[in-house]
Amino acid sequence: MKLLRKGRCAITYFGEGCASEGDIPSALNIASVHGCPTIFFCRNNGYAISTHTDDQYKSDGIAPRGVAFGMPSIRVDGNDLLAVYAATQMARQIAVEQGRPSLIEAMTYRIGAHSTSDDDSKYRRPESPEAGFDSERAYWDARSPIIRFGSFLEARGLWSAEEEEALRKVERARSIKALNDAEKVAGPHVKHLFTDVYDKLPWMLKDQQAALKAHLLKYREHYKDVPAAHVDSL
CA max distance for the chain? 65
Which is catalytic among the residues 47, 65, 85, 123? Answer: 123
215 part of the active site: no
Q: Which residues contact 69 (CB under 8 A, 6 or more apart)?
A: 25, 28, 29, 31, 32
Nearest Cα neighbor of 40 from 59, 69, 66, 22 is 66
Range list of H helices, the chain: 23-34, 63-68, 81-98, 136-141, 145-155, 161-184, 192-195, 203-218, 228-232
Strand partners, 105: 42, 75
Residue pair 41/10 in contact (Cβ under 8 Å)? The answer is no
What backbone phi and psi angles, to 5 degrees, belong to 11?
A: -130, 135
Query: What letter would DSSP give residue 95?
Result: H
65 part of the active site: no
Which is catalytic among the residues 114, 137, 189, 230? Answer: 114
124 part of the active site: no
Which is catalytic among the residues 52, 109, 110, 219? Answer: 110
Active site residues: 110, 114, 123
